[in-house]
Chains A and B, each alone.
Chain A
Amino acid sequence: DTAVSQTPKYLVTQMGNDKSIKCEQNLGHDTMYWYKQDSKKFLKIMFSYNNKELIINETVPNRFSPKSPDKAHLNLHINSLELGDSAVYFCASSPLGDTQYFGPGTRLTVL
């Protein structure tokens, strides 16, 4: 069984489009995260939810909107995509806010 899953694995789209990435975890963790990994492999936190409540919102453009329908799911919607949004986006979950269990990543390419 996959612990943290993301869909899609790859996403190629045009500038200005709106897209969503979905994440699900079956580990029973209360906390979920979205990270962005840029071309230099630097991993930066974007958002964190604890039991459906937003607890971390780093300085991310408001074109990015996370939504957590329940504590096992955390989706990321991106409006008006820009070239600079191209990156790998990782979903993660954590039982106590320390050890991060990552999904396989979604590689977003904006043309």
Chain B
Amino acid sequence: TQLLEQSPQFLSIQEGENLTVYCNSSSVFSSLQWYRQEPGEGPVLLVTVVTGGEVKKLKRLTFQFGDARKDSSLHITAAQPGDTGLYLCAGPALKTSYDKVIFGPGTSLSVIP
């Protein structure tokens, strides 16, 4: 069974600090996605990483896909209160005849002004 694990589960930091959250699996994924979910809203896609070793930047957010395509990380530089939310990694399930996305349990980030 493919599973995605995320760490830490909760993170509370001061504005201006840097942080990294992790997404890990024992299975290989063809791609991984990162979503952010703000309170009372649905998750919104931030990025998709496809190639092993790939690094993508989105303003202060840096995403990396592991060389073996089993893990990914999200690094936020100089966190701001607007970064507060639940960060979910997700990836397509393998060995299925239909399209299914598996989600990790999420990292809940709180940035304190």
Contacts and interface: CB of A to CB of B under 8 A. Distances in A.
Note whether A and B form a binding pair. yes
A106 B64 CA distance: 33
A100 B88 CA distance: 12
15 contacts: A41-B108, A43-B43, A44-B103, A48-B98, A48-B100, A55-B98, A98-B31, A98-B33, A98-B101, A99-B45, A100-B43, A100-B90, A100-B101, A102-B43, A102-B44
Interface residues of A, number: 25
Interface of B: 31, 33, 35, 37, 40-45, 48, 86, 88, 90, 92, 98-101, 103, 105-106, 108
A55 B40 CA distance: 28
Contacts, number: 63
The interface residues of chain A, by DSSP majority, are classed as strand
A105 interface: yes
A97 B99 contact: yes
B40 A100 contact: no
A94 B42 contact: no
A79 interface: no
B33 A42 contact: no
B33 A43 contact: no
B99 A4 contact: no
Contacts of A56: 98, 100
A96 to B, nearest CB: 7
Given A41-B108, A56-B100, A105 B86 contact: no
A103 B101 CA distance: 16
Interface in A41-94: 41-45, 48, 50, 55-56, 90, 92, 94
B92 A98 contact: yes
Contacts of A96: 99
Given A90-B42, A92-B42, A104-B42, A99 B48 contact: yes
